[in-house]
């Protein structure tokens, strides 16, 4: 699942809307050989605060990676 705030610091955020549009286009690919290269979109929705997308898991979660590498100073803050 991916989530995104509707707004951050007063600015509208639309990354997930674009991702959903792209995943929806990919879902129309009929050739199974080509289709296997695209993520499956299961559901989408929103709350008063967040937009969300439920999609195929593509690999380990950030938490799983942190546990595997035992990196105690791991952070999600981008500089």
* Residue 74: inside a domain: no
CATH number, domain at 46? Answer: 3.30.200
Separation in Å, CA 63 to CA 14, 23, 25, 34, 76: 25, 25, 30, 31, 10
CA gap 52, 13 in Å, rounded: 12
**Residue 46 falls within a domain, yes or no?**
yes
pLDDT band, very low/low/confident/very high, at 58 (cuts 50, 70, 90): confident
Residue 8 in tokens: 């951050």
- Its domain, for residue 63, covers 2-69
- Contact between residue 44 and residue 53 where contact means Cβ atoms under 8 Å apart: yes
5-54 pLDDT tens trace: 999 898 998 899 999 999 999 888 889 898 888 889 999 999 999 999 99
Q: How confident is the model at residue 36, as a pLDDT?
A: 86
| Residue 33 domain-assigned (yes or no) | yes
Return the number of other C-beta atoms located less than 10 Å from residue 53's C-beta: 20
Number of domains in the chain: 1
Instruction: Tell whether 75 is covered by a domain.
Output: no
pLDDT value for 77? 64
**Residue corresponding to tokens 């952070």:** 75
- Full-model pTM: 0.66
């Amino acid at each position: 699942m991916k989530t995104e705030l509707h707004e951050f610091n007063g600015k509208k955020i639309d990354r997930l809307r674009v991702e959903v549009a792209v995943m929806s286009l990919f879902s129309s690919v009929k050739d199974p050989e080509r289709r296997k290269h695209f993520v499956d979109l299961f559901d989408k929705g929103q709350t008063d605060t967040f937009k969300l997308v439920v999609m195929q898991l593509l690999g380990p979660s950030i938490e799983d990676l942190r546990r595997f590498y035992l990196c105690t100073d791991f952070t999600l803050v981008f500089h």
